[in-house]
Amino acid sequence: MHRDVVPPSPGPSRKRGRGAATAVLAALLLAGCAAGTWQKGDGSSPDAVRDEQRCLAEARAAGYGGTSMVAQLELQTAVDNCMFRRGYHKGF
């Protein structure tokens, strides 16, 4: 008599571990994208903060954002591109 052996499915604790690992990876990726401060030859730090907030608002108005890692990366890219268009660069 031959029985097929079925491997055990990952239990809830294993699935939760994957979710936590994904969250940590997403946080690290976003932290890496956001590293550094915006600098501009003639702009002061308050100008950069104000301009970044405006770029964020524009990106959200254009439909960027969401809760997934991909959506957050797309939002950050849209904000970065807006800041580059305004003459900023990232300094470390």
pLDDT in tens, 15-40: 555 665 565 555 555 555 556 789 88
Number of domains the chain is built from: 1
Q: Is residue 90 part of a domain?
A: yes
Tell me, yes or no, whether 56 lies in a domain.
Answer: yes
6 located within any domain: no
Residue 80, in any domain of the structure: yes
Q: Is residue 75 part of a domain?
A: yes
Q: What is the pTM of this model?
A: 0.61
User: Is residue 21 one of the residues assigned to a domain?
Assistant: no
Query: Would you say residue 77 lies in a domain?
Result: yes
88 lies in which domain range? 38-92
- 44-81: buried (b, 16+ CB within 10 Å) or exposed (e) per residue? eeeebeebbeebbeebeeeebeeeeeeebebbbebbbe
Asked if the structure places residue 61 within a domain, the reply is yes
